[in-house]
Structure 1
């Protein structure tokens, strides 16, 4: 962490405090943190240790209650719902399968590190299946990326999770766009967040 930047626990608390005051239905979808015995499961399933930021997040919140429709709460992270451990491993298996298929078809250069990578660990998923992920490639470790199906390249949104949370908290508190996306927070029925694209 850089000097002057709050730690992840404090930032998640700031974020969830805002949800509690303004978007209670979203807050209610958050699951408790992983039990001690569950914290090793991601590494066992992935084959490598998760980044400290992801481990800290799972200790606080093991994802959200799964959404069945776009009208349900829980997509408070830029329109994405936090994944629990099972969801993380399932979504990662899909990325691995995509990479393996590309290698078999001789299209590795078009896919690996562009639309899928075995070192991308899904953090959150939207109703369409698009992902926010924590990059675990050595030269990109800890970056927050967005992978949308149909796009030819992923987008790096933030270099670290703490910076993501600072931007999100400031956007919520000031009702201003998150400029790197760009999306702006909006309350729906006084109970849940939406993140429509900000007008340019």
Structure 2
């Protein structure tokens, strides 16, 4: 039986709310998915986040900086049987990996413009204002959208699909839904996945 933690959190909307939600989620994986818990890295320092923002070229959404401040990624995975992909099968990236992934998306967008097929790429599978924060073993990405009209939204890029998928309106809603899903063994409607425990040590997300 999965242990449940009820940490009363305020209405999602700010840095404090996200940190409360993270502690709630962290408490759950510590007791129910110890392998995932062991894969967590400590939070990034202020200078590390500043270096990342300088590299990206614009201020990061507060949801992303708040997440980095409590968890700067996870231990790299080498196979699907290793823990650390507790976020829908994605592993949180460390700050320098975030920058590398952003550079990759920027280069995709630039190449599309130079080669004349920007309509097939820009805002569909890549954009200079998308900042990845988690990656799957197959290379798919979760990102925070920094475009004005989509600021803070969480999207998913699957490079086998022609269009990205918006999953959540913000980071707070994402972790709120994740907490509810793992605590109650229920699915995530927007992501169409449900949690299960593999080998008593890590969270897996199966199609639902």
Q: TM-score, normalised by structure 2?
A: 0.92
Say yes or no: does 1:28 pair with 2:38. yes
RMSD: 1.0
Name 1:15's counterpart in structure 2: 25
Report how many residues are paired: 196
Q: Tell me which residue corresponds to 1:60.
A: 70
Shift of residue 36, structure 1, vs aligned partner:
2.5
Please give the alpha-carbon distance, in whole angstroms, between the structure 1 residues aligned to 2:132 and 2:152.
12
Q: TM-score, normalised to structure 1's length?
A: 0.96
In structure 1, the partner of 2:6 is: none
Question: Which 5+ residue runs of structure 2 have no aligned equivalent?
Answer: 1-9
Q: Give the match's secondary structure for 2:126.
A: coil
Q: What do residues 41-60 of structure 1 show as CA deviations (whole Å, max 9, x unaligned)?
A: 11111011110000111111
1:91 and 2:98 aligned: no
Report the 3-state secondary structure (helix = DSSP H, G, I; strand = E; otherwise coil) of the residue aligned with 2:194: coil
**Uncovered stretches (5+) of structure 1, i.e. residues with no partner:** none
Rounded Cα–Cα distance in structure 1 between residues aligned with 2:108 and 2:193: 29
**Secondary structure of the residue that 2:80 maps to in structure 1?**
coil
| 4+ aligned runs moved over 4 Å, structure 1 | none
Q: Does residue 47 in structure 1 map to residue 54 in structure 2?
A: no
Question: Which residue of the partner structure matches residue 4 of structure 1?
Answer: 11
Structure 1 distance, partners of 2:78, 2:131, is: 22
Are the counterparts in 2 of residues 42 and 49 from structure 1 also a CA contact under 8 Å? no
In structure 2, the residue matched to 1:179 is 189
2:140 equivalent to 1:140: no
